[in-house]
Amino acid sequence: MPDYSDSHLKDILRRTKVVAVVGVSMNPVRPSYYVARYLGLKGFRVIPVNPGHAGKLLFGETVRATLSEVSEPVDMVDIFRRSESVPPIVDEALEAFPKLRTIWMQIGVEHPVAAAKAQARGVDVVMNRCPKIEYQRLFGELRMGGFATGIISSKL
């Protein structure tokens, strides 16, 4: 698993304003839902992307079927899909957003070849991490209670 410095992750989270979340769920108990919701509550504009829910409203935004349907600039694409699904998402993101700064792959999601392609275009890549957990940890919101945990609370 790649190792990312805290300062690098903080820089990504500080500079990011608009996040397209690929694979977001409409179900509030799914991690993709509450991570996207959390990011929205922290001031990020979250653009939901899921072809199965296209046209519905989520967090005040219309769900898009694909990244190509997003007309506004996006700083970060957060991927909630299986690792084998990552390459076409990265390709579409690089095509759709010429000023894209970050591709973020959620916990359990890694694709070194797709990551290298994005990095070759000057895009930062984070794999196998959660921006919600990293935000909480880096900006002092995560309370550990004496031991480290990777469990995400669904109570926001």
What are 48's strand-pairing partners?
Answer: 21
Q: What percent of the chain has pLDDT over 70?
A: 89
CA distances from 115 to 29, 48, 103, 110, 122 (A): 29, 22, 8, 8, 11
The predicted-structure confidence for 119-133, as pLDDT tens digits, reads as follows 999 999 999 999 999
Say how far apart CA 57 and CA 88 lie, in whole Å. Answer: 25
Is residue 43 classed exposed, middle or buried when 0-12, 13-18 and 19+ CB atoms within 10 A define those classes?
exposed
Tokens of 101: 């700064």
Angle at 49 between CA 45 and CA 54, to 5 degrees: 120
Q: How confident is the prediction for the chain on average, in pLDDT?
A: 91
6-138: CATH superfamily: NAD(P)-binding Rossmann-like Domain (3.40.50.720)
The predicted-structure confidence for 49-72, as pLDDT tens digits, reads as follows 999 999 999 999 999 999 999 999
